[in-house]
Each structure stands twice: as structure tokens, then as C-alpha cells.
Amino acid sequence: MAQLGKALVLSTNPDIMERLNEEGIKFDKLQERSDSLSGGEIVGAVLRWSRGDGYAYYLVTNDSPPTLRHISFGDEWRVEPALIRGLRKQDILDMLESYRWFQSLGER
């Protein structure tokens, strides 16, 4: 059963425009790391769930047990903690495979 870790705050800058810029740069680095993971690897993966008008983003920080940290980015949408607790490593691997497949559509 997965665990929910402490939220990951990308920026605390009080200026909204500067904060959004800083968050975007840091989030892009997290996403690049996630995209470079090899098969079977989940630590460093960025997961997302559609919420409201955006996404709830989470970073996988441990694989046994799977541990996710909420990424405070943009509107900071979150999912229900019960959803996180129900995740298995295979669920995360399946999500990553789905992301890769979807990205490959744009490369065709």
C-alpha cells in the first residue's frame, strides 16, 4: 500500500509571476527526470491526475512501499489520500507506460 509524503513546494516567492516562473522551471526539471526513467523504475516519476481545470501532480520518492509527495505547482490540485494509499508499484508502472505511449503519438 502506497504512502503519502510531505508536499514538495517548488517556490515560496511572494511575487506571483516570479513564483510561477520558478515553479515552471523546477517542474520542467522534475518532468525531464521522470521522462528519462528506464522500465521498471518508479522513483523520480511524476504522476498526474486530472482535477478541476488542471492536474494534481505527485512525485514518487520511494518504491517500497511506494511513497508519493504532492507537488505544489500551479493551482495545487490534489487527489484524495485514499487514492494514493491504494496504489501499487504496478499501477505506477502502468501509468508511466500510458504516458510514454501517449507521448509517442506526437512523434509519429
Q: Provide the number of structural domains found in the chain.
A: 1
Burial per residue of 65-76, b for 16 or more beta-carbon CB atoms within 10 angstroms, e otherwise: ebbbbbbbbbee
What's the whole-number mean pLDDT along residues 12-41?
94
Q: Hey, how many other C-beta atoms are within 10 angstroms of the C-beta on 11?
A: 18
Residue from 55, 67, 65 nearest 99 by CA? 55
Please give the Cα distance from 26 to 63 (Å, whole number): 22
Express each pLDDT in 63-89 by its tens digit: 999 999 999 998 899 999 999 999 999
What is the span of the domain harbouring residue 92?
Answer: 3-106
